[in-house]
Amino acid sequence: MPSVVSNSSPLISLSAVGRLNLLRDFFGMVIVPPAVWREVVEEGEGRAGTAEVETAASEGWIQVKTFSNDLLLRLLKRDLDDGEAEAITLAIETNASLIVLDETEARRIADTYGMKKTGTIGILIRAKLAGKISSLKDEMDRLRSRAGFRLEDRLYYQALAAVGESA
Rounded distance between C-alpha atoms, residue 36 and residue 106, angstroms:
14
Determine whether domain 4-120 maps to CATH 3.90.79.10.
no
- For the chain, the C-alpha Rg in angstroms (whole number) is 15
Within 8 A by CB and 6+ apart from 75, the residues are none
pTM, full prediction: 0.94
Domain ranges for the chain, please list them: 4-120, 121-162
Tens digit of pLDDT at every position of the chain (167 positions)? 569 999 999 999 999 999 999 999 999 999 999 999 999 999 988 888 899 999 999 999 999 999 999 999 999 999 999 999 999 999 999 999 999 999 999 999 999 999 999 999 999 999 999 999 999 999 999 999 988 899 999 999 999 999 999 87
Rounded distance between C-alpha atoms, residue 90 and residue 83, angstroms:
10
